[in-house]
Amino acid sequence: MSALVLSLLVAVAYAVLMMQVSVWRTRKMLDEQSVPLRDPQLARLADRMAEALGVPEIEVRVFEVEPVNGLASPDGRIYLTRGFLDRRATGEVTDEELASVIAHELGHVAMGHMRRRMIDFTGQNAVFVMLSALLNRFLPIIGIWIANLISTALMARLSRRDEFEADAYASALLIKAGIGTGPQKSLFRKLEALTQNRGQGIPAWLMSHPKTRERIAAIEANEARWVG
């Protein structure tokens, strides 16, 4: 039993160290590969959301990579990728849809998801160590594989929870700013094509993001309660 406790403590310490290293690397990479977003149309929409939040401004930066994505850094800064802006230049996405991405990432910051994910990652490693130790007694070799599957599924479930919460925050902000949830829902319908159908073939319970129809249904349910 003492060996299991020691292994668990080592796993937790290792997870904390790896997360800190990951945060440092991410911040360094974003600083080196991003520039401030200078776009009058998007700035006007960001200003409307800033007014709705009661803050002076919302700073958005451009992460100079091709994949279509939005992200919030561990220090709370908001990023749109160059790939997203390129799709907007070709008319595949609108200014309002990009505003919904900014609102979603603001949700991650406001809900403390960066800090929560650090805790979740540490917990995932602890679960993996405990399950590996227990299952290997009864299922040698495949015990580690099963433990990894379970811990990964747990992490995916927690990630989907965060996505729903960020969606709800974004919906509330977009409504308050007078932009509405239409762009948020229309972008979700486009995302599979924009990201080259990433996630197809992966079981829903292992995906880190909820299915499109589930996200839209949740947005409409929230809107019905708030606006109705």
Condensed to tens digits (0 to 9), the pLDDT of residues 76-109 reads: 889 999 999 999 999 999 999 999 999 999 999 9
pLDDT at 147: 64
Per DSSP, helices labelled H in the chain are: 2-32, 40-53, 82-89, 95-110, 113-138, 142-176, 182-194, 212-227
Tokens of 46: 């960001």
Please state whether 207 falls in left (phi above 0), alpha (psi between -120 and 50) or beta: beta
Query: Three-class SS of residue 198?
Result: coil
Contact assessment for residue 40 and residue 162, using Cβ atoms and an 8 Å cutoff: no
Contact assessment for residue 136 and residue 103, using Cβ atoms and an 8 Å cutoff: no
CA 213: distance to chain centroid? Answer: 17
Average pLDDT, the chain: 81
The answer to whether residue 50 scores a pLDDT higher than 50 is yes
Q: Residues 11-25: what's their mean pLDDT?
A: 62
Q: Residues 160-176: what's their mean pLDDT?
A: 95
Q: Which residues contact 126 (CB under 8 A, 6 or more apart)?
A: 8, 11, 12, 15
HSE, CB side, 13 Å, CA atoms: give it for residue 33: 15
Contact assessment for residue 152 and residue 206, using Cβ atoms and an 8 Å cutoff: yes
Contact assessment for residue 124 and residue 102, using Cβ atoms and an 8 Å cutoff: no
More confident residue, 206 or 63: 63
The answer to whether residue 11 scores a pLDDT higher than 60 is no
pLDDT at 99: 98
Angle between helices 113-138 and 142-176 in degrees, nearest 10:
160
For the chain, give every domain's residue range: 2-227
